[in-house]
Chain A
Amino acid sequence: MVHISDGVLDPWLWESGWVIIAVILAYTLSKMKTDDVPKLSVITAAVFVASLIHMQVGPTSVHFILNGFAGVMLGILAFPCIFVALVLQCFLFGHGGVTTIGINTVNMGVPALIAYLIFKTGTKLDIRPETKSKVTLFGAIAGGVGVVLALLLLATELITTGEAFYETTVLVVTAHLPIIAIEAIFTGVLAGFIATVKPEMFGEK
């Protein structure tokens, strides 16, 4: 996941991050059926584990961001999933910041939701082995869009914080450009694979 460490952003940004995520979590938790909790947890664990996998690209090591995929699979329930994953990441590894958990969830979750809407419009959620190519295409678009929007939010927040961050922002965004392509291919392959093997996984939201 792309995340901002503590102490970088303007306090009002991460403070509003907490407020927004509190509202969204309250809403999604009320909407979530208790029967979904085990399933959602296992998928969250899978997202967590998958995001730990590193791949060598050129001189740097990249890892999957998976917010687009979480959106495609879970719709609005991607929010609690991302929130839990980020908290555990922070608790288990000390990564990603404490005060920024709220805003990082927003940065991942909002693009995830938009990715889901694109995927939903594109495929009309008609997911069968026969529609595999369409699912792959829109999965790829959703995966790419997920990262692009997450970067856009991140960049906006950094620049809002201060002009001093301009160079940093350019650097962060440039460094992530290849990840957009990687994530798009990854999400596309994943969606296509699941459409062939177990299409009912898309059914539950």
Chain B
Amino acid sequence: MISEIDRYAGISSPIHRWDPRFRLISIFALIFSVMLLYNLQLVMIGMIFAIILTCISKIPLSFVLSRMKLVFIFVIPFFIIIPFTVIGDGVEIASFGGITLSYRGIEYVKFAAMIVLKALTAVMLIFPMVGTSRMDITIKALEGLHMPNKLVQMFAFTYRYIFVLDDEFTRMDRSLTSRGFKRQGNLYTLTTISKAIAMLFVNSYERADRVFYAMRSKGYSGTVATLHEFHTRWQDWVNTAVVVGFAVLLQVAATSDTFSAARGFL
């Protein structure tokens, strides 16, 4: 079953009360800003800011960390691999067969740490960005930000049908299991799963027809509008000024000599 990032959308915090349109844009800008940094200290400052934002949003840290696990698994190999080399120069530390493993030096450790921290910061910021309002409101915020209507419709409908189709696949999977099917790493499993997914596609295609008929029956002629209205208050502007201001500040600091960009060695 799909567990949702917006599980804690119902609680109240300054981030939750922030107009989702402003919140999306501001934190998006902040993520971009941090990703553009190439100085470990600045990245750490960015990360601290991300942690503060997450704390203000009152989303339980345990929830955030459990969701970050997968990204951690993805980036941790970088941390292990990047400081070592088998091709370039470096301090030889091990040799087996014809392959020599060398240590590249502290610069590379720092670089690897920076990459891991950046990746984690970005993921962490997703939580205050979209985890603080229900997904449907987030999609409406995209509409409010004048994203093309067709794309907004695709987001709304896709989001809705992910759950319907997920249930459908779960039912199919259970019916396979109840007839003695077990997922293993062999060709039979692969072709069976493939056929189950193919059936899912055929069913969903037919459902698509029915959904379209239903929409036409309700007068659909190409655009979708909703009743939701966003109300902007002065706090929204303050929040935006703080977060965007911080993002800009990071970039200004990056150009100064104190935090000289450490990209040169690459």
Residues of chain A having any CB pair with chain B under 8 Å: 5-8, 11, 14, 25, 29, 32, 34-35, 37-46, 48-50, 52-53, 55-58, 64, 73, 80, 83-85, 87-88, 90-95, 97-99, 161-168, 171, 182, 185-186, 189-190, 193-194, 197-198, 201
Contact = CB atoms under 8 A, between A and B. Distances in A.
A88 B35 contact: no
Interface centre among A42, A98, A166, A197 (most CB of B within 10 A): A42
B205 A99 contact: no
Interface of B: 2, 4-5, 28, 31-32, 34-36, 67-68, 70-71, 74-75, 77-78, 81-82, 84-88, 104, 108, 111, 114-115, 117-119, 121-123, 125-127, 130, 135, 138, 148, 150-151, 153-162, 164-166, 169, 183-185, 187, 189-191, 193-195, 197-202, 204-209, 211-212, 215, 221-223, 266
Lowest 5 CB-CB distances: which A-B pairs, in order? A7-B118, A6-B122, A41-B157, A34-B222, A45-B161
B194 A11 contact: no
Given A5-B71, A39-B212, A167 B86 contact: yes
Contacts of A167: 81-82, 84-86
Contact of B190 (A55, A94, A166): A55
Contact of B155 (A11, A43, A84, A186): A84
B150 A50 contact: no
Given A5-B71, A56-B183, A48 B158 contact: yes
Contacts, number: 225
A40 B127 contact: no
B204 A6 contact: no
Contact of A41 (B35, B117, B123, B153): B153
A161 B119 CA distance: 16
A64 to B, nearest CB: 8
B222 to A, nearest CB: 4
Contact of A164 (B31, B34, B104, B121): B104
Given A56-B183, A99-B35, A167-B85, 10 more contacts: A6-B31, A6-B122, A14-B35, A37-B153, A38-B211, A43-B205, A45-B157, A92-B135, A171-B77, A193-B195
B212 A38 contact: yes
Given A39-B208, A164-B266, A45 B71 contact: no
24 contacts: A6-B35, A29-B148, A32-B150, A34-B221, A35-B222, A42-B208, A43-B201, A45-B158, A50-B197, A50-B200, A64-B197, A84-B155, A90-B126, A91-B5, A92-B2, A94-B5, A94-B68, A94-B127, A97-B119, A99-B122, A161-B266, A193-B202, A194-B198, A198-B205
